[in-house]
Structure 1
Amino acid sequence: MAFNNSTVNFEYEDYISEVCERVVVMETFGGSSYILIFILSIIGNCLLLYVLFLYENLTNVTNLFVLNLACSDLMLTVTLPFWAIYRLQDWFFGDFACKIVTASHIVGLYSSIILLTAMTVDRFITVVLHNMPRNKVRRQRFAALSCAAAWIISISFSVYAATKVTVEERGGRSMCTKILNDEIGYKLAVSLLFFFLLSIICFCYSAILKTVLQASNRRKHRTVVVVLCIVAAFIICLVPYMILDIIRSLNEPKNCFARQRLNIAFSICYVLAHSHCCMNPILYMLSEKWRKHLLDLFSCKKVRRVRDRKRTTGSCVTQK
């Protein structure tokens, strides 16, 4: 009988905890936001990839980073419909999908910050250390190795995290939830990596901005503005989420009202963190070159430029 009472008490406490943590308004806000971000990101990043393959030289270092960032954003984007349905209802997709979606989510999230760090270091070397002898092959090799490292590291994190999630029944809901026994240690390790890379980005861009402002020919460094906006958007989106995630891991409020307020703030930051995957294509439009590519694409004036640059043949439409 004592066993039954303890079981009932445990289930009741679990139910109360779930009621405290779940805010219906924020669940609806989160689910709707994920669908909107998904649509914008799919359109923007697929269009960006199409323009890249159509007009640009993919051996160019900046284009290589842009290509990998778009793929990284899409990795994160494809998980959003699952999270949207999960926020609005329950997890209907089973244990295997829980692991795959979690892994894809982590790959997209973590590869972005590593790629942006490498992209920033490349800009730092090009702009700040421009007087140093530059080797094009060496720079391309650095970009390729950085992209490979970003995927390897993020996939390693994702495989570990995927083994630590499962589908459980809590408070009458089917949940894709973490079963990390060392969750605090794992999150601290991830947070240390994030803020270490963030410090590298801040240092590099401080030096880049100083150099650009002192330069007589600022048009030469117009690419820096685009990359700076991409990095700034990433910081604005990700830093609040990472800070609140650490706070939740280290100190979870016991009071129900305080827990709900923390979860409302975290839900907003979580949506903001995911919104960065649809921002990059918009920010690339700050570049005159990318705007010209889009105008040419929509007006079907692609033949001459593609033929001259890539030495291919073809036509946009058949004139009769």
Structure 2
Amino acid sequence: MENDSVSDSEDVVYFCDEIFDFATISGSLFLLVFIISLAGNSLLLIVLVVNKNLKNVTNLLVLNLACSDLVFTVTLPFWATFYLHNWVFGDFGCKFIAAAYFVGLYSSVILLTAMTVDRFITVVLQKWPSNSVRQRCAMGACAAAWVISIAVSLSDAMHVKVETHWNNVTTCEYSSDDPDFKLGYYLQVSLLFFLPFVIIVFCYTAILKTVLGSSNRKRRRTVVVVFCIVSAFFICWGPYNIILLIERWYEPKRCNAKERLIIAFHICELLGYSHCCVNPLLYMLSQKVRKQLLHLLTCNKVLREKREKGIIPNLSVTQNVLELHQKDT
């Protein structure tokens, strides 16, 4: 509803009595995303650590990506509480949760870029000297991803604070009082989102041209899985970053325009936040991962049933016997 204007000036600001509260829906869905992401990424980590060879560069990068998603995931209950009720975790909690949020987000971008560049070099250039060199480069990229994301997130956290507004609503949000805030924000978005996007588009254009002309099915499957993971990131986070830029430049005057912008923001935010539970689902496209997960779950189930029936009295004893048998042979 739009109140009557008190002036005919073009700069009149309309005060809205009621705007559709999409934040409540977002808060509820954040909890659902949290549960799916926590379960999916935890299972993926178990599969990678127990059954996969972590010397494989792609697996190493996916392992770090799963850790990145989990760091992001643990912040979701706090944002859900904020949307459903209020910010009740204090100023330190605001800065800490914001820092964890940005660590998860920025490390994902850097790791996905590293994963794409690795695919580009191995598929298109084919110039890695050896697997050991490639592995060291991957470990360096993972370390750099965490160091850079932590450093940048600490800077971001300094600009976040708790504010209580006129309607007694307490929020945890950016403080735009700093004159250098907007410039720093645009540089950050450019360097940590749009620049990686350009690099990834360039690399995958060359990769697809090379793979389409190749008859190596194994290489194709690996490229397809990595391509899906990277594409999902930009499909999820692209609209959110665009809507943030629109919010910085455009301030709606009328209630219906303001309501549409708020609803669009929450939808894009929900799409972006849901990305943390997408990667485990996409990685299950790999037939090997599905088999290993099924094998892991089946083995655990069988062992548990046998222990309950008394067939296997104690797992640790069985393991000791097997170890002694291996030594004797």
1:120-151 residue CA offsets vs partner (Å, 9 max, x unmatched): 00011111122x35321211111111111111
The letter for the 2-side match of 1:298 is L
SS at match of 2:26: helix
1:29-51 residue CA offsets vs partner (Å, 9 max, x unmatched): 11011001000000000011111
State the Cα distance separating 1:186 from its structure 2 match: 2.4
Deviating 4+ runs (over 6 angstroms): none
Alpha-carbon contact 1:165-1:177 (below 8 Å) kept: yes
**Counterpart selection for 1:76 from 58, 72, 77:** 72
1:214-268 residue CA offsets vs partner (Å, 9 max, x unmatched): 0022233311111111011111001111111011012222223212211110110
Q: What's 1:192 paired with?
A: 190
Find the aligned partners of 1:220 and 1:187 in 2 and give their Cα distance: 39
Alpha-carbon contact 2:26-2:80 (below 8 Å) kept: yes
Unmatched segments (≥5 aa) in structure 1: 1-12, 304-313
- Tell me which structure has the larger Cα radius of gyration: 2
Q: How many residues are paired up?
A: 294
**Counterpart selection for 2:43 from 44, 47, 50:** 47
SS at match of 1:128: helix
1:249 aligns with 2:236: no
The letter for the 1-side match of 2:131 is K
Q: What's 2:120 paired with?
A: 124
Counterparts of 1:21-170 in structure 2 under 5 Å?
23-24=20-21, 26-130=22-126, 132=127, 134-170=129-165
* Distance 1:205-1:178 versus aligned 2 partners, 3 A rule: same
State the Cα distance separating 1:315 from its structure 2 match: 10
* Distance 1:89-1:14 versus aligned 2 partners, 3 A rule: farther
Alpha-carbon contact 1:90-1:174 (below 8 Å) kept: yes
Coordinate RMSD, CA, aligned? 2.4
Q: What's 1:278 paired with?
A: 277
Find the aligned partners of 2:128 and 2:102 in 1 and give their Cα distance: 38
The letter for the 2-side match of 1:248 is E
TM-score by length of 1: 0.86
Find the aligned partners of 2:215 and 2:77 in 1 and give their Cα distance: 48
Alpha-carbon contact 1:34-1:81 (below 8 Å) kept: yes
Alpha-carbon contact 1:187-1:246 (below 8 Å) kept: no
Find the aligned partners of 1:122 and 1:299 in 2 and give their Cα distance: 34
The letter for the 2-side match of 1:168 is E
SS at match of 1:257: helix
The letter for the 1-side match of 2:230 is V
TM-score by length of 2: 0.84
Alpha-carbon contact 1:62-1:119 (below 8 Å) kept: yes
Find the aligned partners of 2:41 and 2:27 in 1 and give their Cα distance: 21
Find the aligned partners of 1:120 and 1:73 in 2 and give their Cα distance: 18
Between 137-146 and 69-78, report the one with greater CA deviation: 137-146
